[in-house]
Amino acid sequence: MGSPYWLEDVVPPRPQATRDGRVDVAIVGGGVTGCAAALRLAEGGLSVRLHEQRGIAEGASGRNGGFALRGGAASYPVARETYGAEESGELWRWTEAALDRLAGLAGDALRRPGSYRLAADEEEREAIRSEYEALREDGFAVEWLEDVPGGAAGKFHGALHHIGDGSIQPARFVRRLAARAAEAGVDIREHDLVEDVEALDADAVVVATDGYGHGLVPELADLVWPTRGQVIASEPLGRVLYDRPHYARQGFDYWQQLPDGRILLGGFRDVSIMDELTDVEETTPTIQSSLESFLWELAGERVPITHRWAGIFGLTQDMLPLVGRVPGRERIWVAGGYSGHGNVLGFACGELVADALLGRDTPQLALLDPARFA
Ligand SMILES: Cc1cc2nc3c(=O)[nH]c(=O)nc-3n(C[C@H](O)[C@H](O)[C@H](O)COP(=O)(O)OP(=O)(O)OC[C@H]3O[C@@H](n4cnc5c(N)ncnc54)[C@H](O)[C@@H]3O)c2cc1C
């Protein structure tokens, strides 16, 4: 208990590349963002050192729900209204391409059965129905279901099937990324806390700490709010009830059944939403008991719980990540703030910040520029 199920996976071997002296780029954070950025930079010919205060993937990247979804944290209609119709279409397509690239690197850490966004009531049905229509209008692969097969059958008011979405073993994937980065020459330093980003001996620094490392760059403290998520996992069930990621109540509840039959369930942050605006990585009785009751409802029995854990993610005001140079800082760059939606976006944004440092322009850089809040 207290330790994420994902982190029990065997850690793959990795070469150790040691670099002394100044490097082109130092990265703070060894999650999906930091590892994706490191690999891309090293493949682009730059020297890279990555600093992680714990082990690789031991932050949110090894503590999440394992949903590998296209798109952003906001629903598609909200995104169209907030960021613009064209920008949202491009952003969604960009994340789909990232998910395809991720699949090429992930091996058996990723399956792509699709995902179900479920309507918990009639109001949510309307919202999901308009999301379905907007996505279909823009040519995305979606399906409307009046009901879903399996354990959720008869319990919801319709569902949107996002075809092509995935289920990921996030720690396995990120450790593989780290191994690739090390093979490409990245000096990965675990258990290495960075206290002062300006003191790092590098031409540029990428801060890839998402919800962790709050205050490391004071200018970001008001832009990325640490937010806690809690998860539980059951003993394996003898039957398959949920064959893909399911989520309901605007993503406040999310669950899936893993290949070994256990149900992983997270969410219920709205039960005590203000208490969850914290970077204290511990579970609480209030949310754990809500998760427990819902798990037993989903399983149809009081299945034993084997794992309980908490993780921290970074929430932003507009639910879009921040990727680019930190305003007012010459050498300091950031990629983070995925608002709980970072498995695919974090991979994409790690590569994006690396591309920016490699001098490659990408349209998403303008949309995600941290200076939009200045
Ligand atoms: C409970 C939970 C459920 C989630 N579910 C999903 C999901 O199903 N699908 C999805 O897409 N997203 C989900 N997310 C979000 C997703 O996990 C994150 O957005 C993503 O993992 C962020 O990756 P990252 O590499 O940017 O940050 P992290 O993986 O958090 O890595 C940041 C790293 O920085 C390190 N660090 C911080 N400060 C320092 C320092 N000073 N020096 C050195 N190292 C430092 C930390 O130790 C940490 O390992 C969830 C998040 C949580 C917490």
DSSP 22: -
- For the chain, domains (ranges, CATH) are 18-112+165-222+318-374 (3.50.50.60), 113-164+225-315 (3.30.9.10)
Report CA(155)–ligand 1 centroid distance (Å).
Answer: 32
Mean pLDDT of all residues in 217-235: 97
* Ligand 1 atom closest to the CA of 29, numbered from 1: 34
Pairing mode, strands 332-336 and 202-207? parallel
Burial 75-99, CB ≥16 within 10 A → b, else e: bbbbbbeebeeebbbebbebbbebb
Does 1 have pLDDT greater than 80?
no
Q: In what order do the strands lie in the sheet with 67-68?
A: 67-68, 166-168, 110-111
* Alpha-carbon span 108 to 145, nearest angstrom: 28
Task: Give the position of tokens 């398959």.
Answer: 240
Residue 72's pLDDT band (boundaries 50, 70, 90)?
Answer: very high
Structure confidence at residue 331 (pLDDT): 97
Going by alpha carbons, the residue nearest to atom 25 of ligand 1 is: 31
Number of other CB atoms surrounding residue 177 within 10 Å? 28
Mean pLDDT of all residues in 221-225: 96
- What are phi and psi for residue 215, nearest 5 degrees? 95, -10
Report CA(32)–ligand 1 centroid distance (Å).
Answer: 8
* Ligand 1 atom closest to the CA of 195, numbered from 1: 41
Percent of the chain at pLDDT > 70 equals 100
Mean pLDDT of all residues in 354-361: 97
Dihedral angle sign, alpha carbons of residues 285, 290, 291, 292: positive
Going by alpha carbons, the residue nearest to atom 14 of ligand 1 is: 340
Percent of the chain at pLDDT > 90 equals 97
312 CB under 6 A from ligand 1? yes
Residue 2's pLDDT band (boundaries 50, 70, 90)?
Answer: confident
Structure confidence at residue 167 (pLDDT): 98
Average pLDDT score, the chain: 97
Structure confidence at residue 55 (pLDDT): 98
Going by alpha carbons, the residue nearest to atom 32 of ligand 1 is: 209
